[in-house]
Amino acid sequence: MKILIILVVMLLCYSFASSSGDTTTIHTNNWAVLVCTSRFWFNYRHMANTLSLYRTVKRLGIPDERIILMLADDMACNSRNQYPAQVFNNENHQINLYGDNVEVDYRGYEVTVENFLRVLTGRHENAVPRSKRLLSDEGSHILLYMTGHGGDEFLKFQDAEELQSHDLADAVKQMKEKRRFKELLIMVDTCQAATLFNQLQSPGVLAIGSSLKGENSYSHHLDSDIGVSVVDRFTYYTLAFFERLNIYDNASLNRHPFTFCCAVCLSPMIRDSLCLPPTTGLIFTSQIWRRYRLQISSVQLWRPFTLIHLTKPSQVESPIAR
């Protein structure tokens, strides 16, 4: 009888531990997967978006060996680029995003839906080197940033194929089942970006998109020398927030100066219902990340960000983009 009681107690303890694993797992490391899915010169801004985030996450503490950078084209070496081997996200050309220390893991035609999903799920062929793998674990915090052209529940890869919302949801589900992350922050800067999150069901995920269904994601400004737009609004104001942080900051989403108002970014949205607890999020800090202290309702799956600190879009300037 005593043995039976002991077994029951052990079973209950195991069940409790399994159900609360996400809240008790210790944070171990931080990763970033940064993806530009667009080719061609007129999509210059998408590469600049991605390289801007790459520079920022490195500055805030994530080393190259824990960043997977995927660039579908090489604007720095494009024959139309009058600034060879350089990429800028502002018309002032103060910061070359394509410096000497950029490590591109997947470039050109290597940037495919298949390779992207393999990176997330870890289902690589044996020949793929460790430098091209997301070697995360159950204590990892991961930033997944994607930019390009999207539509209703899809993201285009190089105008040749599409990543569907159910593809992303299935990959995230596999990641969770294989204990490849503790918390995952997904940021998408495309048209109708929020629809890419519609099928997500896995816990521990915070998803932020630059636009709702039927809405566009807008570029920020044109560089007359280069001849195209060099950064998107959503990414520009994201940088305005992150570039004001140092590695010791403990920032909250409500502090965002880009805090996603319609006047600035026009249509960004957030889904926080999968976070455990609902007020948990992710942040760029010295420990990338501690907790976003999100004071938002868990009733709505999606909510527009509200303007907190701004009265005019011109009041926000990104230090990295000036």
Question: Which domain does 81 fall in, by range?
Answer: 27-315
Euclidean distance between CA atoms 190 and 113, whole angstroms = 16
Continuous segment of H or E residues that includes residue 22:
helix 21-24
- Residue 28's CB: how many other CB atoms inside 10 A? 12
User: Please, are residues 182 and 203 in contact by the beta-carbon 8 Å criterion?
Assistant: no
Which 3 state secondary structure label does DSSP give 136?
coil
Catalytic residues: 149, 191
pLDDT band at 101 (very low <50, low <70, confident <90, very high): confident
Closest by Cα among 100, 101, 106, 123 to 36: 106
What distances in angstroms separate CA 313 from CA 149, 152, 209, 218, 259, one per listed residue?
24, 28, 19, 14, 11
**291 pLDDT above the threshold of 80:** no
**In the predicted structure, residue 200 carries a pLDDT above the cut 60:** yes
In a domain, 48, yes or no: yes
What confidence category does residue 31 fall into, taking pLDDT thresholds of 50, 70 and 90? Answer: very high
Read off the pLDDT band of 272 (50, 70, 90): low
In-domain check, residue 287 = yes
Q: How far apart are CA 80 and CA 76, in angstroms?
A: 9
The enclosing domain of 99 has a CATH number of 3.40.50.1460
Residue 298 confidence (pLDDT) above 50: no
CB 208 within 8 A of CB 302: no
Question: Taking a C-beta distance cutoff of 8 angstroms, is the pair 32, 62 a contact?
Answer: yes
Answer yes or no: is pLDDT of 91 > 90: no
Domain membership of residue 276 (yes or no) is: yes
Rounded to two decimals, the pTM is 0.79
Question: Which pLDDT tens digit goes with each residue over 210-250?
Answer: 888 988 888 888 898 999 999 999 998 888 877 777 766 66
d(CA 226, CA 230): 8
User: Out of 17-26, 157-166, 178-187, 251-260, which region has the weakest mean confidence (pLDDT)?
Assistant: 251-260
21 within domain boundaries: no
* Contacts for 317 with CB less than 8 Å, ≥ 6 apart: 240
pLDDT of 154-194, one tens digit each? 999 999 999 999 999 999 999 999 999 999 999 999 999 99
pLDDT band at 24 (very low <50, low <70, confident <90, very high): low
Is the predicted pLDDT of residue 152 greater than 80, yes or no?
Answer: yes
Within a domain: residue 8? no
Say if 208 falls within a structural domain: yes
pLDDT score recorded for residue 69: 98
Q: Is residue 224 part of a domain?
A: yes
Residue 234 lies in a domain: yes
- For the chain, the domain total comes to 1
